[in-house]
Amino acid sequence: MEYHNGEADDLPPPPPLDASIEPLKAEETKKLLKPKRALVPRKGFGKKGQPIKLITNHFKVSLKNTEEFFYHYYVNLKYEDDTPVDRKGAGRSVIEKLQQTYATELANKDFAYDGEKSLFTIGALPQINNEFTVVVEDVSTGKTPVNGSPGNDSPPGSDRKRIRRPYNTKTYKVELSFAAKIPMSAISHALRGQESEHTQEAIRVIDIILRQHSAKQGCLLVRQSFFHNNPSNFVDLGGGVMGCRGFHSSFRATQSGLSLNIDVSTTMIVKPGPVLDFLIANQKVDHPNKIDWAKAKRSLKNLRIKILTTNAENKIVGLSDRPCRETMFTLKRRNDDNGDTEEISVYDHFVKNRGIELRYSGDFPCINVGKPKRPSYFPIELCALVSLQRYTKSLSTLQRSSLVEKSRQKPQERMSVLSDVLHRSNYDSEPMLMACGISIAKSFTEVDGRVLQAPKLKAGNGEDIFTRNGRWNFNNKRLIRASSVEKWAVVNFSARCNVRDLVRDLIKCGGMKGIKVETPFDAFEENPSMRRAPAVRRVEDMFEQVKTKLPGAPKFLLCVLAERKNSDVYGPWKRKCLAEFGIVTQCVAPTRVNDQYLTNVLLKINAKLGGLNSILQVESSPAMPLISKVPTMILGMDVSHGSPGQSGVPSIAAVVSSREWPLISKYRASVRSQSPKMEMIDSLFKPQGTDDKGLIRECLIDFYTSSGKRKPDQIIIFRDGVSESQFSQVLNIELDQIIEACKFLDEKWDPKFTLIVAQKNHHTKFFIPGAPDNVPPGTVVDNKVCHPRNYDFYMCSHAGMIGTTRPTHYHILHDEIGFNPDELQELVHSLSYVYQRSTTAISVVAPICYAHLAAAQVGQFIKFDEMSETSSSHGEHTSVGSVQVQELPRLHEKVRSSMFFC
């Protein structure tokens, strides 16, 4: 088509510019193209502290062939008719068969296959594109595919021996197409701190080799962990769920070379055995007649069962609508040439034709393992759940605490279990590893640690607090800044509790700590008729009582609950107090009331009412390197997501910020909801016209007003819960938004930033050789098992009392303030001692713990039942703003700057 000038006029005019959007100026476009920040390299090593020899669960890997290349092939699996293979887990058996069938055409190469779309070889396959036809015996059923369907001549579950038909096989087409080549030398470069884009890929390949090694031994694989089918590794958690203990293993590039990190790991599996036993346990009923079959259908779908009479394995598709006695199908008569058929019930068929005694199946639905259009039914008592099937729903509080309790291991026990698994795994026999020239040491790696001295603490009346082994107490001491509890009342939600005695003891204990607790206005007991009402109604009713009987709004409410954990009144109560009325509140569920209990409650109340329990000595005589000289704000940032079984629950982002500089013990929090499962914080900077509705602005203004009208010239950010693959986003997207929020307040103001990520979800552990104890609090490691080039260290700041201490892994991504390694490690260590809720050092810096608490508590404001209706039910990663996320109610201004989360 020719283009005539006139045609240009026929195009619609450009859309009008939105008045609120300004066109980009030249400097704005520059900003869009600005170079990305890179992670700061290590600035040397710390020197302070008492040296300590440790060993760690890293095993040294040596690598002989670095000249070789891994070749990556993309795997495309199709059935004979070219439809793609949809059955999960079919891949491994097909690829194994391919390797056996076409060994010579494939130059006898070993494969590293990830079970999905990627396959790796050492050196290239002979052809570039390889297409093969593979015939695999259909293991999934172990017998004729549509056996037992109506109209089929073999009865359901008929004997395998009688029908060894040739057609219980499946034919697949496999295409392997070349995707990339990865030099093994990338690994040796990484060890010298020269990471290339191939490093992660090369390490991924050897990770896949290990996974495959475990898969061949019949293990359940969950990401980087593997689980053997060994009943001695199972613990019953109730509800038809078992914890299964296994192992995590991954290769890591470290300063001292490549190491294999092996750790103990636990996953949840469905309790194997008779299906009916599982349902009774799962629904917590005492008799099969009480089973809710609609619920049973949901919980059984897609689980694999073994048919006890034939040992065949099948997947549960559903349940029959009617009981076994009434579920009919059409049976062709045996040896009958006239093609006569009869209608028979599944029950009668098994009892009369097959002579199998059924004790209880007649009255319950059958299990369907066929196709939706061609069902294949079996009586429930002939079906047993296969072992090692993951249970992916969220656990109840009881199950979770039972899991934690039963999977604890003391350091010594953990070490022997780990060296045992390494010997048993027999990696030296894995042909792929041999071909790469990889061998794995059998002994733990030795590292040098240092134990930092505990910071000194101050209590009231200028007294020093002495810490021992990361712990201290307030015996005969007063709190450094005690608040007074006045204009307050008690509310009791049907807990069996002597409120009068509780109040009397609280007043007495408060007096000893320097807190003046006045006599409360009143104690309100819940109206007995409300006990069975929905939680929100109970809270409303209680507030009516408080409003009618009190002379004015109370400043503090002590709330007595009947349940220690998971009280359904807790969320609505907190919402009412903190969001609607701005009243400070403390919930208690007292079981044994003694001085220790009351002191712990008072520590929380004091912090919430604006007091301080103890502070670091260096805060009282400002002497912190780099922090006391220049106004410095500390931020803790975290995002908490709904538990695995709750899709569509908004994630909750919290930013906690320090106030009243030069203190680093006092914090406030801002919280927002965002799209489910989104890890990056969405609302740090939210400009709307001349206003900024973001989280950071709130923190900056509060710091300014609480620190004598000073802007922070230094901002230290602690970010929790991001993996190494997300460091660049935190450094480039989140940090940019924080800088934007500062510029939005004052264009000329240019604070310096230090950004540190804390990780608890890793698998490095430290042990004291030959000693049964955990490493002492204050232990820091920044050599050997740390990153070859990046700036990171491990710290165990707390005293691990049970199980094995999990160190926190700190990564310094950015440091404009210019701390030296000792100063940074001391700062992190000190921030583990300013947590106002406890008299122990905690395992991760206080601002991050506070961010967890704030997110969890405000998250309780919106209860999950009302949410699942308003938000989308897809648990997918949503792009920003694609789901209407329910907004959290904002905190009342009276409590906005308090430590309400304490």
State mean pLDDT over 130-136.
86
Q: Tell whether 127 and 177 lie within a shared domain.
A: yes
Q: Which residue has the higher pLDDT, 616 or 65?
A: 616
| pLDDT at site 398 | 86
Distance between CA atoms of residues 721 and 732, nearest Å: 17
Contact indicator for 291, 283 with CB cutoff of 8 Å: yes
- Select from 355, 386, 417 the last residue of a domain: 386
Q: How confident is the model at residue 405 (pLDDT cuts 50, 70, 90)?
A: confident
pLDDT of residue 162: 37
- What is the mean predicted confidence (pLDDT) over 685-698? 87
pLDDT for 529 beyond 90:
no
Give the pLDDT confidence score for residue 159 in this predicted structure: 40
Q: Is the Cβ–Cβ distance between 181 and 72 less than 8 Å?
A: yes
Q: Are residues 345 and 203 in the same domain?
A: no
Q: Is residue 45 a part of any domain in this protein?
A: no
Measured CA to CA, the distance from residue 667 to residue 729 in angstroms comes to 26
pLDDT of 336 reads 60
Higher per-residue confidence, 252 vs 1: 252
313: Cβ contacts below 8 Å, ≥ 6 apart: 139, 140, 141, 142, 304, 305, 306, 307, 386
Give residue 284's domain range. Answer: 273-386
Please state, in angstroms and rounded to a whole number, the distance separating the CA atoms of residues 520 and 533. Answer: 27
Instruction: Answer yes or no: do 265 and 132 share one domain.
Output: yes
- pLDDT band per the 50, 70, 90 thresholds, residue 696: very high
Question: End of a domain among 337, 357, 386?
Answer: 386
Rounded average pLDDT over 293-320: 89
The predicted pLDDT at position 437 comes to 86
The confidence score (pLDDT) of residue 738 equals 93
The pLDDT tens digits of the residues spanning 450-469 come to 999 998 888 888 888 888 88
> Which tokens sit at 64?
């002989």
Asked if the structure places residue 227 within a domain, the reply is yes
Nearest to 215 by CA among 422, 423, 430: 430
Query: What pLDDT was estimated at residue 636?
Result: 95
| For range 640-654, the mean pLDDT | 78
Phi and psi of 619, rounded to 5°? Answer: -80, -35
Position 278 confidence tier, pLDDT thresholds 50, 70, 90: very high
Whether residue 28 is predicted with pLDDT greater than 60 in this model: the reply is: no
Asked whether the predicted pLDDT for residue 8 surpasses 50, the reply is no
Q: Does the N-terminal peptide bond of residue 35 adopt cis geometry, omega within 30 degrees of 0?
A: no
454, two tokens: 């505990």
Shared domain check, 260 and 324:
no
Residue 512 within any structural domain of the chain: no
User: Which segments of 9-89 does DSSP mark as H helices, in order?
Assistant: 26-32
Rounded distance between C-alpha atoms, residue 32 and residue 399, angstroms: 49
- The CATH number that applies at residue 291 is 2.170.260.10
Same domain, 300 and 346: yes
- Give the pLDDT score at 164: 41
Q: Is residue 197 part of a domain?
A: yes
Tell me, yes or no, whether 379 and 438 share the same domain.
Answer: no
Please indicate, yes or no, whether residues 266 and 287 belong to a single structural domain of this protein: no
At 161 the pLDDT is: 38
Q: For the residues 514-543, what does the mean pLDDT come to?
A: 88
Better-predicted residue by pLDDT, 289 or 810 = 810
Over range 489-499, report the average pLDDT.
Answer: 86
**Residues 669, 800: one domain?**
yes
User: CA geometry: angle at 533 spanning 529 and 534, to 5°?
Assistant: 160
Amino acid at 529: S
* Nearby residues of 569 by Cβ (< 8 Å), 6 or more positions away: 493, 535, 538, 539, 561
Element holding 338 (H helix, E strand) = none
Confidence of residue 431 (pLDDT cuts 50, 70, 90): confident
SS3 245: strand
CA atoms of 626 and 872, how far apart (whole Å): 47
Tell me, yes or no, whether 543 lies in a domain.
no
Separation CA 696–CA 879 (nearest Å): 22
478 assigned to some structural domain: no
Long-range CB contacts (< 8 A, 24+ apart) of 398-403? 398/238, 399/237, 399/238, 399/239, 399/241, 402/235, 402/237, 402/238, 402/243, 403/235, 403/237, 403/243, 403/266, 403/268
Give the tens place of pLDDT for each residue, 194-251: 777 788 888 899 899 988 888 888 888 988 899 988 888 899 998 899 999 899 999 9
In a domain, 5, yes or no: no
- Report the pLDDT averaged over residues 325-337: 76
pLDDT of residue 29: 53
For residue 251, what are the CA distances in angstroms to 69, 207, 490, 719?
Answer: 18, 6, 56, 25
As to burial, measured by CB atoms within 10 angstroms (0-12 exposed, 13-18 middle, 19+ buried), residue 13 is exposed
In 350-455, alpha helices (H): 397-406, 411-425, 431-436
pLDDT, tens digit, 9 for 90 and up, residues 652-674? 999 999 998 888 899 999 999 88
Sorting pLDDT into bands at 50, 70 and 90, what band is 646?
low
- Strand 488-492 and strand 556-560: pairing? parallel
Q: What is the pLDDT of residue 714?
A: 93
Model confidence at 816: pLDDT above 90: yes
Q: Is the pLDDT of residue 756 over 90?
A: yes
Sign of CA dihedral 157, 161, 162, 168: positive
| CATH code of residue 712 | 3.30.420.10
Residues 197/349, Cβ–Cβ less than 8 Å: no
Overall average pLDDT of the 545-566 stretch: 86
> What is the per-residue pLDDT across 151-200, written as a single tens digit (0 to 9) for each?
333 444 444 333 344 446 788 899 898 989 999 888 888 777 677 778 88
Same domain, 111 and 216: yes
The answer on pLDDT for 115 being more than 60 is yes
Q: How far apart are CA 452 and CA 449, in angstroms?
A: 10
Predicted local distance difference test score (pLDDT) of residue 864: 44
Which is it for strands 752-759 and 714-720: parallel, antiparallel or unpaired? parallel
Residue 558: the pLDDT is: 92
Average pLDDT, the chain: 84
Closest CA to 394 of 647, 644, 565: 644
Is residue 566's pLDDT more than 90?
no
Confidence bin at 2 (pLDDT 50/70/90): very low
The more confident residue out of 90 and 179 is: 179
Check residues 786 and 872 and name the one with the higher pLDDT. Answer: 786
User: Helix H segments across 223-372?
Assistant: 275-282, 293-300, 346-348
Distance of alpha carbon 856 from alpha carbon 760, whole angstroms: 18
* Beta-ladder partners of 632: 714
Number of domains in the chain: 3
Spell out the alpha helix ranges (H) of 554-610.
Answer: 570-574, 595-608
Please enumerate in sequence order all residues whose Cβ is within 8 A of that of 113, keeping only pairs 6 or more positions apart, or say none. Answer: 75, 91, 92, 95, 119, 120, 208, 212
Percent of the chain surpassing pLDDT 70? 89
Which pLDDT band holds residue 26 (cuts at 50, 70, 90)? low
Assess contact for 803 and 410: CB atoms under 8 A.
yes
At 63, the amino acid letter reads L
Question: 188 and 286 in one domain?
Answer: no
Mean pLDDT (whole number) for 850-859: 91
Same domain flag for 291 and 382: yes
* Residue 875 pLDDT level (bands cut at 50, 70, 90): very low
Whether 636 and 658 share a structural domain: yes
- pLDDT tens for 501-523 read 888 999 999 988 889 999 888 88
- Residue linked to tokens 């919402």: 575
Q: Give pLDDT, residue 751.
A: 93
Q: Find out whether 641 and 676 touch, Cβ atoms under 8 Å.
A: yes
Residue indicated by tokens 């470069």: 189
Distance set, CA 65 to CA 68, 188, 190, 428, 884 (Å): 6, 10, 15, 15, 53
